Amino acid sequence: MSNDTTPALHVSSVSHSYGARQALEGVSLSVGQGAFCGLLGLNGAGKTTLFSLITRLFDNTSGHVRVMGHDVRRAPKLALQNLGVVFQNRTLDPDLSVLQNMTYHAALHGIPRRQARERAVAELERAGLADRVGEAVRSLSGGQMRRVEIARALLHQPKLLLLDEPTVGLDVGARRDIISHVRALVGQGGLSVLWATHLMEEINTDDAVVVLHQGKVIETGTSQEIADRHEVGDLKEAFDAMTGLAKGKAA
């Protein structure tokens, strides 16, 4: 079904409304295998709604969403097996230990207990948290909690990881630490990432970028290509011009 050229994520003509409010309109985008892709949008652009459709929290009744070639409606099991998610709001139980949070999640994925423990320890090692496995989550810093959530999202060895504004609420150092950790995971091979953010400094010039604005995709390309197309110095200037933020500043 999938081969090396199948996109890790393919979204085609997806729309979504909350009652009369149209949150997404004809959204299409692709994330290649082994790629880091930034999904850029201001608050309310539709990023979380898109993630809810990809993860099947909402049913997509228009267009298609495919994860590693598997349609999330027609083959949800296969699609979701290939998908890991880190939501914007923290979802760890602060009173359980780091390891308990991991193994509880593994059980939800049907991973046998012994294998779950082995994988949890391996993922926590990759996250640099091997010495914290027995500690209650509440004793960790915000950045360390995010690392646990990322490790947990990788327990079932997905090919695609979605992160919804994962650095919100973290200080600058912790933000840099999380993004370089995720980039390192991508660099180790086999993992694709869709990273939703409104922070341009989290995007490198050669990253693939999708700009979502008021529910529509208004630009795609590398950060550098987008800046060049808009004849400005960097992605931030291009983004401000596209979304009207530049006008707001001048006023």
> Of the candidates 5, 18, 189, 250, which one interacts with ligand ATP according to CB under 6 A?
18
Query: CA-CA distance, 9 to 54, in Å (whole number)?
Result: 9
Residue 20 CB, shortest distance to ligand ATP, in Å, is: 10
Query: CA-CA distance, 215 to 42, in Å (whole number)?
Result: 10
Binding footprint of ligand ATP, residue count (CB under 6 A): 12
- Is the separation of the CB atoms in 67 and 76 below 8 Å? no
Between residue 22 and residue 51, which ones bind ligand ATP under the rule CB under 6 A?
23, 41, 43-49
Residue 146 CB, shortest distance to ligand ATP, in Å, is: 16
- Is the separation of the CB atoms in 163 and 141 below 8 Å? no
Q: Which stretch binds ligand ATP (CB under 6 A): 3-11, 17-25, 26-34, 110-118?
A: 17-25
Between residue 113 and residue 172, which ones bind ligand ATP under the rule CB under 6 A?
165
For 201, list phi and psi in degrees, rounded to 5. Answer: -65, -10
SS3 17: strand
CB within 8 Å of 186: residues ≥ 6 apart: 34, 35, 36, 192, 193
Residue 145 CB, shortest distance to ligand ATP, in Å, is: 19
Residue 21 CB, shortest distance to ligand ATP, in Å, is: 5
Tell me whether residue 158 or residue 166 sits nearer to ligand ATP (CB atom). Answer: 166
Which residues sit at the interface with ligand ATP, rule CB under 6 A? 18, 21, 23, 41, 43-49, 165
